[in-house]
Structure 1
Amino acid sequence: MTSPRIEKLPDGMANLADFEAPAQARVDAAAWAYLNGGAADEITLRANRAAWDAIQLQPRVLRDLAGGHTRVTLLGRELRHPVLLAPIAYQRLFHADGELAVAHAAAAQEAGLILSAQASLEMEAIAAPMLADPAAGPLWFQLYWRDDRDFMRALLRRVEAAGFQALVLTVDAPVHGARDRERRAGFHLPQHIRAVNLGGVKKPLNLQPGQSALFDGLMPRAATWAEIDWLRAESPLPLLLKGVTHPDDAREALARGVTGFIVSNHGGRALDTLPPTAVLLPPLRAALGPDVPLLVDGGIRRGTDVLKAMALGANAVLLGRPYVHALAASGALGVAHALRLLRDELEIAMALSGCKTLSNAGPALLWPGSFSSPSPSR
């Protein structure tokens, strides 16, 4: 399969939330719980969305906005707009074309794509439509650490050969969160869907009597700072860390040669009661200074959310669950339409706020007291 099928767009798709109902009608209930559920009581899941809603804009009027645009520069490359698609696993759970449909839509709408290591289609097939379109956004590959350096080395060589331009290591989920909604639904992967880019067999835990499967089995295999150093030495690609939330960890990573960061709480799917990403973003920007690439995900649904994120210090945003809803609802066309809606909303928000370019977006664009100020940098 090299091209996604073309499907009819459901009627009335005026914003990203409109895709949710037609998507749910087409997706297995257990898979729906897997996609949309969060950890434990889902406090962080709800807080991500609520935080963007709580931030208020402070528009300026009568400004000359002729020639305005949404272009940004990220990792030395100019992008048409600051929206990338977040890494989400096993997308063939939600549509037969899976990640291939998403790649074609991203390329058509000049968006960036971060492919999950747990993609359900081969990375080379997903990279092809992105690399074939000069206007497409960046193409990055997301990694989970596996305690097998020979395997990781071979995976890195394959990623580089396929044309991916950066690595994104997820560091906030060495184990799954306690996802109650997913467990109640009895979710498990169907036999025909698997992480096709992750071959090999994981080593058995070989626990001794009385040992903890988590602390004695899994955690000794999790990534540490030593693995960050190894990745930096092993691959020439820029390395971004996804899931750093503490300024001290960000400073440590920067000192070890990490290129950039994605402010993320794993969409509320890992550790519940973490702050929302809109709250985490300003202290990390304050700690890192103005020049380190810093992206944010979690709860982005509207063009106003994108503008607020840029005003809080992000260089770009990641869109997550909503694009998978659009995929489930109508394949590649759905994802492309969702991205177009978000791009149009961003332009509208900028025009109505008196913001000519995103380089002009800063804290002055936000109503005082409606957002969290950066914590003092030590």
Structure 2
Amino acid sequence: MAVSENQDNPGRARQNVIYRDGVLGRTPTVPTDFATLERRARRKMSPKAWAYVHGGAGLGRTMQANREAFDSWQIVPRVLRDVSRRDIGVELFGRRLPAPVLLAPVGAAELAHPEGDVAIAAAAAELRVPYIFSNQGCAPMEDSAAVMGDAPRWFQLYWSTDDELVDSLLHRAEKIGADAVVVTLDTTMLGWRPEDLNLGSLPFAQGQGIAQYTSDPVFRRIVRDRIAAAVAKPDVKVTLGAIRSLVSMTRRFPGRFLDNLRSPEPRAAVETFLDIYSRPSLSWSDIETLRERTSLPVLLKGVLHPDDARRALDTGVDGIVVSNHGGRQVDGSVSALDALADIAPVVDGRMTVLLDSGIRTGADVFKSLALGADAVTLGRPHLYGLALAGREGVRDATANVIAEFDLTMGLSGLTSVGEINRDALRRA
């Protein structure tokens, strides 16, 4: 069910679908509470998939802090107001959206479901909410865009050490009709992620999550040049695991499997990706070149300090995403919601502010907007839905959050997103 089918009452409409199914003896495939959703998704996923999607940095304290921050704010409902008609829509970069919710970019989504990015894109299109295509996707951005029609899509950029590759990715994002580009700043190096490390598992080293690269003409040329230059390759001991890894790389590389198996390109592509996918030296001077590189609105993702928000304003970008990468990068980091509370007054409406990290429910969306976000991005919830039921799972998990947000807003005595502010909250 698209959100727009009952824009005045999407929460009640969603409830009615579920309750009517209940009369027929059917219960939701995708649980409506996050704890059950997460538990069932874990049973569905492989150990490596669960480690990658669920795992956080270090002891997981930042993931915990994200949730504790939401719990530290309480909603104060108001009564005896006419909330029979509500509008939960927002406008971002000239596009009217049916709800203040976007689907966050998540790399290597095929770990959760073989249809991965394309299934997520199709679900987002059905709901008419934007999907931010992951730079570490398992399908080329063109394939995801092809199933979306005219529905909104954004693109996430990891800034490579090769500027020509950066320009190529931005050009492709423009060609697929992206509404904006989100430059991720907090992953110039991978954080210390024990759940992955204990399994020795990095999806990209298996060729998973590098489809934006292997489909890019500049990247392919870089790979061929490295092969021609005979860049030294590490010696690999022939083991069953090494053979499986080679098969994985080969199967995911464009072209016929047998041709790829005889070619050095699949393995060279993985090695090249690992060498150049991100730039630890990335600086504000690089960001300042974006106006010359793309005509798309630019947002910076991973901003947690008010001074960085001020610098983003001075640089002239169009927005920021307040995020700690879902707790996956720095253990013991400030929570994203607490950072938002500090940053929003600094920005003061002068650019778009999104909140990412820790959002699990419609009440979380409400609190995020009350503390100054224009919209939020959902990460793990839609991946868990993907694991359970593919495209329909993404759709239902996202629709459930939107429905709860609508009901939370109405039951708090408010009828539009513009009415939500800090007066609707109190500290616990």
Q: Is the 8 A contact 2:196 2:202 kept in 1?
A: no
Which of 99, 105, 109 in structure 2 is aligned with 1:87?
105
The CA deviation at 1:69 is 1.4
The amino acid of 1:196's aligned partner reads A
Which of 348, 351, 359 in structure 1 is aligned with 2:410?
351
What are the Cα deviations for residues 70-124 of structure 1, in whole angstroms up to 9, with x where unaligned? Answer: 0112123221100100010011111111011111111111211101101000101
What are the Cα deviations for residues 100-154 of structure 1, in whole angstroms up to 9, with x where unaligned? Answer: 1111111111211101101000101111232x14xx3x31100111111111112
Structure (1 or 2) with the larger CA radius of gyration? 2
Q: Does the C-alpha gap of structure 1 residues 68 and 219 become closer, same or farther in structure 2, counting only changes over 3 Å? A: closer
Which of 120, 125, 142 in structure 1 is aligned with 2:156?
142
The CA deviation at 1:54 is 2.3
Q: Does the C-alpha gap of structure 1 residues 194 and 70 become closer, same or farther in structure 2, counting only changes over 3 Å? A: closer
**Corresponding residue of 1:374:** none
Residue 318 in structure 1 maps to residue 358 in structure 2: no
Which of 130, 139, 143 in structure 2 is aligned with 1:121?
139
The CA deviation at 1:26 is 2.3
**Corresponding residue of 1:51:** 69
C-alpha separation between the residues in 1 aligned to 2:186 and 2:209? 22
C-alpha separation between the residues in 1 aligned to 2:401 and 2:422? 22
Residue 231 in structure 1 maps to residue 270 in structure 2: no
C-alpha separation between the residues in 1 aligned to 2:292 and 2:310? 19
TM-score by length of 1: 0.87
C-alpha separation between the residues in 1 aligned to 2:308 and 2:31? 41
C-alpha separation between the residues in 2 aligned to 1:218 and 1:303? 35
Q: Is the 8 A contact 1:240 1:261 kept in 2?
A: yes
The amino acid of 1:166's aligned partner reads A
Query: CA RMSD, aligned part only?
Result: 2.2
**Corresponding residue of 2:300:** 241
C-alpha separation between the residues in 2 aligned to 1:39 and 1:297? 16
**Corresponding residue of 2:49:** 31
SS in 1 for 2:321: strand
TM-score by length of 2: 0.77
C-alpha separation between the residues in 2 aligned to 1:83 and 1:289? 21
The CA deviation at 1:14 is 2.4
The CA deviation at 1:45 is 0.9
The CA deviation at 1:218 is 10
C-alpha separation between the residues in 2 aligned to 1:220 and 1:142? 15
Q: Is the 8 A contact 2:62 2:332 kept in 1?
A: yes
Moved more, 146-155 or 294-303: 146-155
C-alpha separation between the residues in 2 aligned to 1:108 and 1:9? 22
Residues 114-193 of structure 1 aligned to structure 2 (within 5 Å) = 114-130=132-148, 132-133=149-150, 136=151, 138-189=152-203, 191=206, 193=208
C-alpha separation between the residues in 2 aligned to 1:50 and 1:106? 29
Q: Does the C-alpha gap of structure 1 residues 292 and 12 become closer, same or farther in structure 2, counting only changes over 3 Å? A: closer
Q: Is the 8 A contact 1:31 1:187 kept in 2?
A: no
**Corresponding residue of 1:42:** 60
Structure 2 unaligned regions, length at least 5: 1-25, 233-275
SS in 2 for 1:309: helix
C-alpha separation between the residues in 2 aligned to 1:14 and 1:234? 42
The CA deviation at 1:35 is 1.0
C-alpha separation between the residues in 2 aligned to 1:12 and 1:122? 27
Runs of 4+, deviation exceeding 4 Å: 8-12, 201-205, 217-221
**Corresponding residue of 1:211:** none
C-alpha separation between the residues in 1 aligned to 2:425 and 2:207? 48
**Corresponding residue of 1:376:** none
Q: Is the 8 A contact 2:34 2:361 kept in 1?
A: yes
Q: Is the 8 A contact 2:30 2:396 kept in 1?
A: no
Structure 1 unaligned regions, length at least 5: 1-7, 206-216, 371-378
What is the number of equivalent residue pairs in this alignment?
A: 347
Structure showing the higher helix proportion among its residues = 2
SS in 2 for 1:243: strand
C-alpha separation between the residues in 2 aligned to 1:246 and 1:11? 40
Which of 251, 257, 268 in structure 1 is aligned with 2:327?
268
C-alpha separation between the residues in 2 aligned to 1:224 and 1:247? 17
Which of 304, 309, 315 in structure 1 is aligned with 2:368?
309
The amino acid of 2:421's aligned partner reads G
Q: Does the C-alpha gap of structure 1 residues 12 and 23 become closer, same or farther in structure 2, counting only changes over 3 Å? A: closer
**Corresponding residue of 2:21:** none
Q: Is the 8 A contact 1:49 1:298 kept in 2?
A: no
SS in 2 for 1:20: helix
**Corresponding residue of 2:95:** 77
Q: Does the C-alpha gap of structure 1 residues 220 and 328 become closer, same or farther in structure 2, counting only changes over 3 Å? A: closer
C-alpha separation between the residues in 1 aligned to 2:30 and 2:323? 31
